[in-house]
Structure 1
């Protein structure tokens, strides 16, 4: 039995082929262009993404089922008849709607989004992006007038084009700020608040457990947000199981079972982890906007020669020399939710080296993640060992510093394509296939207390300097 998992992420599309004998192979990986037409705007070409998804399906060869995971909040408009995009994909990082969000917040609308969607007002989520498309793009307005407009996250576009079914899943819909977290339906009041016509949105269905649609002769049996797929891939099933995935951003999730966690005061986001057939599992989510993107930026400005520069550093932590980096290039996520915050270094002197600045950047990302996990631990009993994956997990220095900053052991996996692995495992459920667990090769970094309270205090001071800058 062979399963293909298409991981359509922020910077690339890749396909993992898994089989019930334990085989795992990345059969194709394709990068796509990032477009920045204005400051704060981030876009993808929907046609390019769809072509890469199709190429990955072809590269997988003969498989029994397909799962697709998506970017989450990234969204677009397209024509229901021709299938042609009517907008670019507006990426989750995009903040073009920040003024609209501030106006709604000033009008007291955040109480409604917190009560129904469980989410604060933020350009991160899809609702204000979809409203912007309808407000600003004549082609979208014309399609709406003609009854041909479709609005949705990228998964709905892919499924519509591949299977002719206009659907999304409950986990992805929970990231839009338009779905009622309790009923798992589009909420009419939220749609009215943002000005998104509910009749233009896809049907909400399960994430896995049955056939979602047919891509030619192959059933698509799973469709889910990438971070929720990673949660499943880490083996997180019970309340308190948690992981952090380090990609463009850093995304922490912890399973809460049938409980919807609501504590906006500390910046936590309740979300659907997955809906398998009729059973819904919830999670709590907290994100750092800039993780891998901050490292890529360091490379672009010549601060890094390559990933080898991030493996080890001479001397103790940079923060012990009062050198602090706040990774707020796109603002601050959980627990602050402050898009006005700016990235910064503090504590540089005439003898500060390039290596020390790179070291402090790693530490700043880890300390931001520690803030997220402390917020989660206030609501959920998190296990003693936290599982991490993604690019930064491959840096021994970063993994050890994160363990020390958190006061919690960190586990990295021998096979770190856990988003794809989770997507494949979900796809197998409809066929009664369980992928075998991979044994051996994991590394556990034991936590040490080298001054984490002092680090936290210094980092909090730097966070205070970065806020309200823009």
Structure 2
């Protein structure tokens, strides 16, 4: 079987050709424009994304099946008759709805947690979709005419490419509008946010099939992080992976029952295949991982990725230098959109190498917070499998192993989202994960280092204002 595995991500659209046996090669990758029309706003052009999918798919031909991974929480509005996009894509990083969510009371927060499993955070799709309905005349006109469609990017892609208006359960679980227990759209959550439930797509299993593109069946559509979880070979409760892309995302398999929320991590759907029970997971993220590294490159702290692989001497953190990578705020387990980045501990001898090293260490330390929070909820496997750009930095991975006090496993084949998509289509790619490198804790990160970083996080918290502090604290408390 030859599968065109399309990863439509935050910064680019990639297509890998995956064959039985696990052989995978990138056939195309196209970056797309990031729009920042206002502070905290992040948008994409849906037509550009759609065109890029078509382009990369042509370069993979011939194939037997197509699978598409989506960005998760990114969403938009379009005309159900013409297919015309009525808005840009509001990206998962976008925080424009923070003020609106801050006006909701603690009771709404509790109900959101109870029904959808998710906090009232602008990260998720619900408030973004409601913003489109409230603020865009074209969206309101389409709603009045009975032509409006709302959804995450997968539903738009499938509608335009295949004529199938649908989403899968895992993607729906990222919206804040899903009844997580019943796995149907929640009328209560739609009413809370102001999202017309009749405009949302039908929900289907991940491998339900979504029609064809030029005669080739689209067999699978799912969130990129859930595809990566499957691609890591995580099947048993406690199996855990972390993907280091634009953000860092931890998912751990929880089994066939909805997991209890705890430690600031969230219950979510991992996948649901036809005629099989739903598999749940717990998840948490760091908003800025690769994004923080790219920021450091942009401001001149380094120029090539090779510079991230090794550093001389002891860690920057052990020398009192810390960085909290909260450019977009702090995600799990803090859930603080008012947090801001903090560099602290510099002196006259501090140079750019020290600072870029501190960026890597800060990403690792926030990730350790996710690992520790996950361990409070489920009994995690001893080793944690990672992928993504930062998994290629030996220094970063060794520091993460030492800071987390856990073995960190790096598969030689690091395109795990593509492997997961292909496996969900039915391809056999297990041999691709056979070659791994394991990094073991070496005791180089001390309790004093952890305490020093915790103090830095405290300084970053709520830096952008006190007005919403009680609300955001309530997110964690409930």
The verdict on a shared fold, with TM-score over 0.5 as the criterion, is yes
Equivalence map 1:286-297=2 (5 Å): 286-297=284-295
Corresponding residue of 2:468:
none
Distance 1:171 1:441, change over 3 A: same
SS at match of 1:17: strand
Equivalence map 1:388-399=2 (5 Å): 388-399=386-397
- Contact kept? 2:401, 2:408, Cα under 8 Å: yes
Query: Shift in Å at residue 396 of structure 1?
Result: 0.3
Corresponding residue of 2:141:
142
Report which stretch shifted further, 251-260 or 437-446. 437-446
Hey, what's the Cα distance between the residues in 2 that align with 1:309 and 1:403?
A: 20
Hey, what's the Cα distance between the residues in 2 that align with 1:267 and 1:367?
A: 16
Distance 1:242 1:21, change over 3 A: closer
- Which structure 2 residue ranges, 5 or more long, are not aligned? 465-478
- Which structure 1 residue ranges, 5 or more long, are not aligned? none
Distance 1:440 1:190, change over 3 A: closer
Query: Shift in Å at residue 435 of structure 1?
Result: 2.7
Corresponding residue of 2:308:
310
Query: Shift in Å at residue 21 of structure 1?
Result: 4.2
Corresponding residue of 2:331:
333
Q: Deviations over 1:271-312 (max 9, x none)?
A: 000011132100000100000000000111111111122111
SS at match of 2:272: strand
Hey, what's the Cα distance between the residues in 2 that align with 1:246 and 1:267?
A: 20
Hey, what's the Cα distance between the residues in 1 that align with 2:151 and 2:189?
A: 15
Q: Deviations over 1:335-355 (max 9, x none)?
A: 100000001111011111110
- Contact kept? 1:390, 1:416, Cα under 8 Å: yes
Corresponding residue of 2:439:
445
Hey, what's the Cα distance between the residues in 2 that align with 1:451 and 1:201?
A: 48
Corresponding residue of 1:35:
35
Query: Shift in Å at residue 163 of structure 1?
Result: 1.0
Hey, what's the Cα distance between the residues in 2 that align with 1:68 and 1:43?
A: 20
Equivalence map 1:25-424=2 (5 Å): 25-104=25-104, 106=105, 108-208=107-207, 210-264=208-262, 266-278=263-275, 279-424=277-422
Query: Shift in Å at residue 368 of structure 1?
Result: 0.2
Query: Shift in Å at residue 439 of structure 1?
Result: 5.8
- Contact kept? 1:20, 1:436, Cα under 8 Å: no
Aligned residue pairs total 463
SS at match of 1:256: strand
Query: Shift in Å at residue 451 of structure 1?
Result: 3.5
Hey, what's the Cα distance between the residues in 2 that align with 1:175 and 1:22?
A: 29
Query: Shift in Å at residue 60 of structure 1?
Result: 1.1
- Contact kept? 1:118, 1:262, Cα under 8 Å: no
Hey, what's the Cα distance between the residues in 1 that align with 2:213 and 2:258?
A: 34
Query: Shift in Å at residue 452 of structure 1?
Result: 3.2
Report which stretch shifted further, 87-96 or 276-285. 276-285
Query: TM-score when scaled to structure 2?
Result: 0.95
Query: Shift in Å at residue 440 of structure 1?
Result: 4.9
SS at match of 2:57: helix
Report which stretch shifted further, 296-305 or 445-454. 445-454
4+ runs of 1 displaced by more than 6 Å? none
Hey, what's the Cα distance between the residues in 2 that align with 1:468 and 1:166?
A: 40
Query: Shift in Å at residue 108 of structure 1?
Result: 2.7
SS at match of 1:76: strand
- Contact kept? 1:116, 1:179, Cα under 8 Å: yes
Hey, what's the Cα distance between the residues in 1 that align with 2:130 and 2:433?
A: 47
Q: Deviations over 1:360-410 (max 9, x none)?
A: 110000000000110000011111111000000000000000000000011
Query: TM-score when scaled to structure 1?
Result: 0.97
C-alpha RMSD of the superposition: 1.1
Query: Shift in Å at residue 56 of structure 1?
Result: 1.6
Q: Deviations over 1:243-264 (max 9, x none)?
A: 0000000000000011222225
Corresponding residue of 2:23:
23
Hey, what's the Cα distance between the residues in 2 that align with 1:452 and 1:139?
A: 56
- Contact kept? 2:83, 2:160, Cα under 8 Å: yes
